[in-house]
Chain A
Amino acid sequence: EAGVTQFPSHSVIEKGQTVTLRCDPISGHDNLYWYRRVMGKEIKFLLHFVKESKQDESGMPNNRFLAERTGGTYSTLKVQPAELEDSGVYFCASSQTGHTNTEAFFGQGTRLTVV
């Protein structure tokens, strides 16, 4: 069974440009989460989808970040326009619904560098 996959693994963009990160969750997982780790700091929650609906987006830094999950399958996280402080590793995770005994499976992350 394929795990959570993220694309790209690395991205280097200039300040002001747009970048779109993609996450493919494990098939059948209704819950999808985005997290971010800025260098030297802890991993921070960004938002949570249940199927295609945003359940909790309290961690989104500002309106330059837009997350979508059309059809309740893969998700994209767009940063437009990117700023230097957006650099970091963006993690995606997925889990089943209604099972507290399950776990959140994480992808390998996308390392974003804004120069």
Chain B
Amino acid sequence: AQSVTQLDSQVPVFEEAPVELRCNYSSSVSVYLFWYVQYPNQGLQLLLKYLSGSTLVKGINGFEAEFNKSQTSFHLRKPSVHISDTAEYFCAVSGTDSWGKLQFGAGTQVVVTP
């Protein structure tokens, strides 16, 4: 079984400032890691995923995340946010043998202000 902890429920940030959303996980098996975003009144959209290989993963809209196996973390970063990045962000994990069955964190609400 896996579990995911998103350490911040809400992150206020000014436009053009950097943002980091923290995610830690625990698992007894090998995992795949994901970040999803939910914009207001929309469904969940995949930002990026880590399956294997390079621990630095680049996603859409300028986001990137780094997998750290020793710290069991998968933090999401963006060097300069826009107003349009206001959304809720979800970290998720799945076992490598059941990759479609996702265990989500509680979500982090990012509010970008001018």
Contact = CB atoms under 8 A, between A and B. Distances in A.
B54 interface: no
Interface residues of A, number: 24
Nearest to A5: B43
A41 B100 contact: no
Interface string A73-85: 0000000000000
A104 B45 contact: no
A31 to B, nearest CB: 5
Interface residues of B, number: 22
Interface stretch (B13-21, B67-75, B79-87, B104-112): B104-112
Nearest to B52: A100
Nearest to B51: A100
A42 B101 contact: no
B7 interface: no
Contacts of B98: 56
A31 B100 contact: yes
A64 interface: no
Residue among B32, B41, B101, B107 with max Cβ neighbours from chain A (10 Å): B101
Interface of A: 3-4, 31, 33, 35, 41-45, 48, 56, 91, 93, 95, 100-101, 103-109
27 contacts: A4-B43, A31-B100, A33-B101, A35-B102, A35-B104, A41-B106, A42-B4, A42-B105, A43-B90, A43-B107, A44-B104, A45-B102, A45-B103, A48-B100, A48-B101, A56-B101, A91-B44, A93-B100, A103-B49, A104-B100, A104-B102, A106-B36, A106-B44, A106-B45, A107-B43, A108-B41, A109-B43
